[in-house]
Amino acid sequence: MRRYRNGRGAALTAGVYGGLVLLLGVVSLAILLTTPDPTLLTGVALVAVTFPLGWLIWWAWDLFPDLVGRPVLLTVLLIVAGLVQAWLIWRFARGPARP
């Protein structure tokens, strides 16, 4: 992390964001898999946290009628989108490499 100007701060920010995405995703999956009629406030929070990719996935989900009844797949896609965004946060926030 010392190789980049803001390496430690960027890694900390991306790590906290990625941890939040994983926490919300795992809790959402646990609720989906253990209750017969889940109410997913954590799923709504996961969509909000993964903005903008999460919202694009959410809106595009209705374009594929075969996938509408598969909320576990939607949650996994949202987790993946959030982790991609955590990586992007690290890439953009770390700054230029030190000479």
pLDDT over 90 (residue 40): no
Q: Write the CA distances from 42 to 36, 48, 85, 88, 96, integer angstroms.
A: 16, 10, 18, 23, 36
- The pLDDT of 43-66, averaged and rounded, is 92
Please report the pLDDT score of residue 37 as a whole number. 82
Contact 24, 49 (CB under 8 A): yes
Write the pLDDT tens digit of every residue in 62-81: 899 888 889 999 999 999 99
Contact 4, 97 (CB under 8 A): yes
- The pLDDT of 23-43, averaged and rounded, is 90
Please report the pLDDT score of residue 1 as a whole number. 63
The pTM score is 0.91
